[in-house]
Amino acid sequence: MHLSSKKILDFRTFLFLNLILMLFLILSGKQVIVITAFAIAAAVMMIAREWRAAGIAALWFIGNFALHYYTPFLYKRFSHSSVPLFFGTLAFLMQRIIPFLMLALTVRKTKNISEIAASLEKMKLHKGIILSIIVMIRYLPAMTEDIRTVREAMKLKGIPLSPTYTLCHPVRTIEASVVPMLFKSLKTTEEFSSAALIKGYGCNAKRSSYFDVRIRRADTMLILGSSALLTAAYSFL
């Protein structure tokens, strides 16, 4: 018996959107491609009913778009200072990163590990690839906790968490932050890998799933619609 999932979009749709957005953003630097990519990511968020997150992302995108647009005027206004160029370049990059962050946030809020694993198995991927992707996705939230633990340990040792101290004592900072983080990351990923193997992800037999994982009408419409929009923006505009 499968659980009826309220998550409308399949995880494979998110993978396809990430790949096609990346492809078109690499092939073309047109601003219309960037706007189309944001519109597609916003549509995904609205389909998933993430209204608040979509609104915040829209404000971020509009702010970066405006900053990038007015960079030449600010550059002239401030006597050819490098500061407007720096923030303009940052805004240029953020416009291209925001759609991917929106898709990642939607996956985090609407999918769980079991559903993602079932979707990947439908793609007939190698078990090692599936296990690697699952561990990577599961580790991202744990990495935040690991960073917090390392920062607290640095405070207890009396090591300042300031850029000035990092520049003056780079070796000491690496010893106190990067090295512990590497060992903690290794331990955490080993624990996740062991847990995944215990759940049968390394078994060659076909695994069943509680989730009804399939490509629905919304997935098909979104895949075809996004492909058509990006192709039109690339070819005709």
Together in a domain, 61 and 151: no
Same structural domain, 55 and 125: no
Count of other CB atoms within 10 angstroms of residue 171: 7
Q: Which two tokens stand for residue 34?
A: 């960037």
Alpha carbons within 13 A on the beta-carbon side of 7: 22
Residue 127 has pLDDT above 60, yes or no: yes
- Phi-psi category of 169—alpha, beta or left, where left has phi over 0 and alpha has psi -120 to 50? beta
Please report how many Cα atoms fall inside a 13 Å half-sphere around the Cα of residue 195, on the Cβ side. 12
Per-residue pLDDT tens over the stretch 134-147: 777 777 777 777 78
Would the pLDDT of 231 be above 50? Answer: yes
Number of structural domains the chain divides into: 2
Question: 30 and 92 in one domain?
Answer: yes
Contact 150, 180 (CB under 8 A): yes
Position 204 confidence tier, pLDDT thresholds 50, 70, 90: low
Both 19 and 88 in one domain: the answer is: yes
**Taking the model in full, what pTM does it have?**
0.75
H/E run at residue 18: helix 11-27
Whole-number Å distance between alpha carbons of 103 and 51: 13
Query: pLDDT at residue 82 above 70?
Result: yes
State which residues form the domain around 139.
117-206
Top pLDDT among 184 and 16 is at 16
Residue 47 has pLDDT above 80, yes or no: yes
